Amino acid sequence: MEVDYENYEIVSVFQDYALIDAESYQRNYQTYNGRPLPAGYYVVNWPEHVRVRRFDERAVFHGPFPSRLEATSALQQLTVDAAAFRRHVLP
């Protein structure tokens, strides 16, 4: 199965409103509720219509996970679930 990583990214949150992205750049982030995230690894995804990925209120943070390995495992499950959801046909 081919995994669509285009709308997903694994990041490391290391302090309030700051993370390291998949390309090792330090970035600031925002959440939809304005609260900081606990430190750890997160799988971040964006709605399909978002062309420019920013770590803002449109980003969805899944986690925290204690290790990158566990975040990678979660990413694989998220993409499998998303693919199954896209294939689901409503009656």
Reported as a single tens digit per residue, the pLDDT across 51-70 is 888 999 999 999 999 999 99
Domain assignment of residue 48, given as a range:
8-87
Q: Are 43 and 75 in contact (CB under 8 A)?
A: yes
Supply the pLDDT for residue 1: 34
| Total number of domains in the chain | 1
- Order of all β-strands in the sheet with 60-65: 26-28, 18-20, 8-15, 40-45, 60-65
Supply the pLDDT for residue 6: 64
The answer to whether residue 50 is domain-embedded is yes
Is the pLDDT at 2 greater than 60? The verdict is no
The answer to whether residue 3 is domain-embedded is no
The answer to whether residue 40 is domain-embedded is yes
